[in-house]
Amino acid sequence: MSGHSKWSSIKHQKGVTDARRGQLFTKLTREIIVAVREGGSNPEANLRLRLAIQRARDNNMPMDNIERSIKRGSGQTEGASLVEMVLEGYGPSGVAILVQSLSDNRNRTLQDVRNIFSRHGGNLGESGCVAWLFDRRGLITVETKELDAEELALDAIDAGAEDVSIENNYIEIYTKPEELEKVREALGQKNLPIASAELSMVPKTMVEIEEKAAWQTLKLLDRLEELDEVQHVSSNADFPNSILEKYQS
């Protein structure tokens, strides 16, 4: 499919490492705090908060942590003010990169992101330079090691998915943003192993890159992901399968 980004498979594989470092819980906490400040502390009336809580549960974040995050967001406990930032730039071979962050220090985050781009063969661009290359969509990842991927894909389409991409040991299910919860719930009722479900910036078209640029780009994306302030990184790089396999190992 035109919007499929193989970088998402890398993020899925490295999720366990992030959790060990404590980085993943930091990112989840920030998302919950901002969701509460934006739409209130009642999940039933706040879609962004519902999605943030569900993602936290999917990643085994303790309920005590979730409840503390909600209290921080509602002002019941003190916490730093967080600002949402979308930074855009280009990686090796001109691939588009979109960085979504939540920061308590805009200038520091901007400088950190700029430095990572520079060190790995890319450059930070002006606002709007690459955002038009991406669509906001729901993205559900389901593990398929012991399942019939084709049958699962049909179940997803029946549940309201717009598109499905079958990969090795997992499938990616794409939905309209407002349909993400409904599709996830339908799949959950079938007790399917859902690895993640989130709103994501999905590229409209992909850019094929050769081996050297692929290595540089993967390192660039990885370093961006490691910043605590960075919530999501999206790219339209189409990586050779051979490079992905080496990088994941």
Is residue 2 included in any domain, yes or no?
Answer: no
Residues 142, 197 within the same domain: yes
pLDDT number for residue 116: 97
Q: What is the CATH number of the domain that holds 175?
A: 3.30.70.980
| Residue 78 covered by a domain | no
Cβ atoms of 90 and 96 closer than 8 Å = yes
* Co-location of 102 and 120 in the same domain: yes
Are 197 and 153 in the same domain?
yes
Q: Is residue 158 part of a domain?
A: yes
Q: What predicted TM-score, i.e. pTM, was given to this entire model?
A: 0.86
* Cβ contacts of 98 within 8 Å, gap of 6 or more: 86, 87, 88, 130, 131, 134, 201, 232, 233, 234, 235
- According to DSSP, the residues that pair with 3 across neighbouring strands are none
Residues 121 and 218 in one domain: yes
Residue 121 lies in a domain: yes
Domain count, the chain: 3
Question: In this predicted model, what pLDDT tens digit does every residue of 207-228 receive, in sequence order?
Answer: 989 889 999 999 999 899 889 8
Is 164 found in the same domain as 59?
A: no
Q: pLDDT value at position 15?
A: 54
Same domain for 164 and 220: no
Are 52 and 147 contained in the same domain?
no
Last residue of a domain, one of 73, 93, 117: 73
213 shares a domain with 120: yes
- Determine the pLDDT at residue 1: 38
Q: Note the pLDDT of residue 4.
A: 44
Q: What's the domain range around 18?
A: 7-73
Which residues of the chain have a pLDDT value below 70?
A: 1-21, 77-80, 248-249
User: Is residue 39 domain-shared with residue 153, that is, in the same domain?
Assistant: no
User: Whole-angstrom distance between the N-terminal and C-terminal Cα of the chain?
Assistant: 25
| 175 and 219 co-located in one domain | no
Using the structure block, give the residue that is written with the tokens 């407002």.
Answer: 178
Claim to verify: residue 87 and residue 29 sit in the same structural domain: no
pLDDT of 167: 80
Asked whether residue 231 is assigned to any structural domain, the reply reads yes
